[in-house]
Every structure is written in C-alpha cells, then in structure tokens.
Amino acid sequence: MKKPERMRSSEYDKYLPKAKKYFKLDEKQIAKLRSLKESGVPTKDLAKMFSISVTSVKRYASDEAREKDVAYSRKHREKTFVPGVRKRTKKQRERLKVTDREHKKTLRGFFVSQYNAKMSTIKKREKLKKIHEDVPIITLEDLLWLWGEHVRKYGVNCYYTGVPLTFYDPDNLRADTLCTIDRFDSERGYTIDNIVFCCWEFNKRKNNIGIKDCIRILKRYNERRELREHYANQVDDIMPERRSYSTGGMVGR
C-alpha cells in the first residue's frame, strides 16, 4: 500500500487560518525593538513587525518588565509545581487531595481513576500479566465509548441487577450502588468485549468466579433438582398420604 504524501507547510494555512507563530528574538532584534519603541512606534505595530505578541513586546522593551515577568514565573511555578511524593509539603498534599476529589466528581475523572486502578491491578497480579502478554488491554478512550454504549442500552443501571448506579462520593467510597468495572469472564482480561459496568455489591459477591465455574455450578444444580424430583415422586408413589418436600437436596417429612 502506497503511503499518502505529506502536505506541504503552505497547505496547512487553509486548515489553520487563525494560527499565529511567535518567535524568540536575538540580541540585535531586541536592541532594534527597543530603539523603535523609544522613537514612539506603537506596541501593536511592533508586535506585527517582529511576529510576536503584544505582551512579548512589553517584555523585550524593558529590563524591568522582563525581570518582573521572570520573578512572577518563578513564584507561580513554586505554587503550582508538584514534586515527588517524598518531597511534597503538607500544603501540597492537601491541595492535591482537593483537586483529586474535584476531578473524580466529573464523569471522565471518575473513569480515569477506575482505569488507573485496574492498570495497577494488572501490574501486581501475575495471572493478569500473563493474560495480557498477548491480549492488548482496553484503552481509556475505548472504555469511555463502552460506557456510552452501556448507557444507551441499559441506562445508568447495573448490568446484572438493573439497580441505579452511583459515582464518586467522598463520604461513602464503597457504596453498594457504586459503579465498578467488571470482567464478565474472570478467566479473560480487561478487553473491550469482556468488560461490563455493575454495582459494587454484586461485583463483590461475584468475586473472581469464571464462566466455566458458573456452568459447572448450574450443571450440578440441575442434577440435584432432578434428583430431588425423582425421590419426591418415589415417596408419593409408595406413601401418597405423606407430604414430600426437599431441603437442601434431602427428602423428609
């Protein structure tokens, strides 16, 4: 298959008509800009002339403005920069907790946190690691698309029980109705055709039971039911005056 030809740089203009390119000035250009500024050339004209923003013109035109800008950048960086976990101060940790809570309250933030939790689970469990050696893990965007499909088919309800699902609540992190990501078949990995959205209460009860195990349980259940019916019929034939009933697979009075 022939690769498509790359667009020329001039062809991008029709797709980005409002795009602006800003350049850094060297020492000669800065000196020229300052002389023009002192001679009374307007700031907007200088911005067009040197292909820079109006704010950049002010920075380049004055050493004071430049120093203030650098000082502000350093101060702002100290406020916003988050170092490693061990180097974080108490205030930084508290601020991160608040921002993390606010992020989780959004739908995307909630699923991002759920997705990251599943990724860390895969790294910790050898069984899941082996499964995903050959099978790719679902991407975050595919997970969000899958949630949209779930809502379209089942509403904001549990896949198994149909109860309404709830999302992040800092006061009740393990609510029974909390939306969780579950593997339909626990023998398989986190793939797009094996993920469902269910409530925490059912996910907890289901645990890691696989489809094969469910089939085995149902098979044995049917055998025991047939056996109970067989013995109940025999008792009715021999002693019709007795009432037969079953308790855990046993026949009694």
Largest distance between two CA atoms of the chain? 120
Which carries the bigger pLDDT value, residue 66 or residue 251?
66
pLDDT bracket for residue 194 (50, 70, 90): very high
Mean pLDDT of 187-211: 90
CB of 65 within 8 A of CB of 58? yes
d(C-alpha 176, C-alpha 196), whole Å:
16
- Residue of 210 and 117 predicted with greater confidence: 117
For residue range 13-67, list pLDDT tens digits in order.
444 334 334 446 777 888 888 888 888 888 888 888 887 878 778 777 777 666 6
Q: What is the chain's mean pLDDT, rounded?
A: 77
pLDDT at res. 118: 92
pLDDT for residue 15: 40
**125-179 pLDDT tens trace:** 888 888 898 888 999 999 999 999 999 999 999 999 999 999 988 888 889 999 9
Q: Residue 178, SS3?
A: strand
173 versus 82: the higher-pLDDT residue is: 173
Q: Which residues of 15-49 are buried (b: 16+ CB within 10 A; e: fewer)?
A: eeeeeeeeeebeeeebeebeebbeeeeeeeebbee
77 pLDDT more than 80 = no
Q: With bands split at pLDDT 50, 70 and 90, how would you rate the model's confidence at 113?
A: very high
User: Is residue 115 very low, low, confident or very high in pLDDT (cuts 50, 70, 90)?
Assistant: very high
Reported as a pLDDT band with limits 50, 70 and 90, residue 253 is very low
The pLDDT of residue 149 is 93
In percent, the amount of the chain with pLDDT more than 90 equals: 26
Confidence of residue 9 (pLDDT cuts 50, 70, 90): very low
The pLDDT assigned to 196 comes to 94
